[in-house]
Structure 1
Amino acid sequence: MIEDAIEDVRRFSEENGLHEMQILLLFSGGKDSSLALYLLKEAGLNVSALTFFHRWSWRETLNWAMGFTRRLGVEHFLVDITDGLLREAVGRKGPVCINCKRVMLWNAKWFALNGGFDIIAKGDNANDKIIGALLDQCKGDIRLCGLPKIGVPIFRPLIMYTAEEVEGLAREAGIKPYRMYEHARRRQWREGCPLQYIDEDERVTPELMDLAYRVNYEVSRLARRRKVRMSVRVPSFEIICWNCDDETLREAEEIVSRFKGGGE
């Protein structure tokens, strides 16, 4: 199956002249973007990776991502967006993800234009499609969208694969991203940033961002040890968990209690 996927990317790229272009892939270090990077590299494309991080990003997943690109022999750019995220998020109500994505897309566009890249690639899969979204308004094959509003064509090599198919392809390719065992805001396992757990009716502050990082980092250590998925919303301190037993929840409550009232 993985060989078929590589051949599909190679054939599509030849038909659309992508082999002659420089491609910049937005690389989070998660399963989807890792598989997309693997396929583009194996298909013989000229691809580089771009990873955005900020003060509250998980360092463990960033370290894994850097090791993955080294193994593939792919040029990897790291960009700190802390200042831009603070400008966009502080004072607004959550979720922070909306503001963060705006900052990342803006930076990706200008990084590509100034760096001489012809194409921006993303790891979106078929489950990420939202009717009416900008990238789903493109004409023709939705894998490659040339949208004037963005200014750089967008290549989505996984958009025809479901999340389940992506999981199988990543497993076959031996791609095992580092897991923080977060609960995630969506049903799909979407890790990457503790700021997604700031309560939606709260106005974002740097102190709240720090709290979201600290409490979720401690809880993630428990979740990883217990092999469950768990996170904590702040400042409500609601524990959200899949497959937690009573003992695990008691341990989580002990961790959370240390943070209530500014204890840590």
Structure 2
Amino acid sequence: MIGHVVEGIVNFSDRNGLYEKRILLMFSGGKDSSLALYLLKEAGLEVSALTFLHRWSWRETLNWAMKFTRKLGVEHYLVDVTKGLLREAAGRKGPICINCKKVMLWNAKWFALNNGFDILAKGDNANDKIIGALLDQCKSDIRLCNIPKIGVPFFRPLIKYTAEEVEALAEEAGIRPYRMYEHARRRQWREGCPLQYIDRGEIVTPELIDLAYRANYEISKLARRKKVRMSVRVPSFEIMCWDCDEETLREAQELVETFGEEGR
């Protein structure tokens, strides 16, 4: 299946002049963006990776991502968006994912423009919710979007493949990203960062962000040891878990109680 997908990217790139362009892929180190980077490299396109990080990013997944790009022989840029994230999120109601995405999108735009890249790429698949988003403004093939408000075209090589198909492709390619064993918002492996677990409606503060990171880092160690997927919302300290037994939930509760007073 990989060969068929790569051939499709080659043909699409030929028709759209992508072999004369420099492509910058927004690379989180998750399965989708890793597969997208792998496929673009296999297709012979000039592609580089751009990873955004902040003070509360998972360092384990970042280390895996850096090893992956090194193995592919792909240029990899790291950009710290801590200040921008705090500026956009502090004082607003949680969760802060929408604020973070806004910061990353505009940083990606200006990084591309200032460093001679012609196209931005993303690992979105067919299951990703894009209704109402900027990328829903595509007037032709949704794989390549020219959005005047952004000023840089977006290439999404996986947008016509379902999450299940992406999973199979990544397995075929031997792409197995480092897992933090987060609960995530979907049953599929959709990890991100601990800040997504700030309770909806809570006013975001630097102290609450710190708490979300520390509590979920400790919970992730327990989840990895028990081979379950688990996260905790803050400051409510609601434990979310796929396939937890009573013993695991008890250990998680004991662990969370150590953060309880700090969050009150």
Q: Give the TM interval when normalised to the shorter protein.
A: over 0.9
Question: After the TM superposition, which segments of 4 or more aligned residues of structure 1 sit over 6 Å from their partners?
Answer: none
What is the alpha-carbon distance in structure 1 between the residues aligned to residue 222 and residue 71 of structure 2? 30
Deviations 1:86-131 (A, max 9, x none): 0000000011100000000010000000000000000000001433
- Aligned pairs (5 A) from 1:247-262: 247-262=247-262
Aligned residue for 2:41? 41
Aligned residue for 2:148? 148
What is the alpha-carbon distance in structure 2 between the residues aligned to residue 172 and residue 185 of structure 1? 25
Contact 1:185 1:196 in 2 (8 A): no
Q: Which amino acid aligns with 1:137?
A: Q
TM-score normalized by structure 2? 0.98
- TM-align CA RMSD: 1.0
| 1:200 maps to 2:200 | yes
What is the alpha-carbon distance in structure 2 between the residues aligned to residue 3 and residue 227 of structure 1? 33
Work out the number of aligned pairs and report it.
263
Aligned residue for 1:240? 240
What is the alpha-carbon distance in structure 1 between the residues aligned to residue 63 and residue 234 of structure 2? 26
Shift of 1:31: 0.2
Moved more, 98-107 or 135-144: 135-144
Shift of 1:58: 0.2
Shift of 1:223: 0.5
Q: Which amino acid aligns with 1:149?
A: K
Query: How has the CA–CA distance of structure 1 residues 6 and 200 changed in structure 2, closer, same or farther, with 3 Å as cutoff?
Result: same
Q: Which runs of 5+ in 1 are unaligned?
A: none
Contact 1:61 1:192 in 2 (8 A): no
What is the alpha-carbon distance in structure 1 between the residues aligned to residue 154 and residue 62 of structure 2? 24
Contact 1:58 1:193 in 2 (8 A): yes
Deviations 1:130-161 (A, max 9, x none): 33332122111100001111100000000000
Shift of 1:255: 0.6
Q: Which runs of 5+ in 2 are unaligned?
A: none
Shift of 1:187: 4.1
Aligned residue for 1:26? 26
Contact 1:185 1:197 in 2 (8 A): no
Deviations 1:208-242 (A, max 9, x none): 00000001000001111111110000000000001
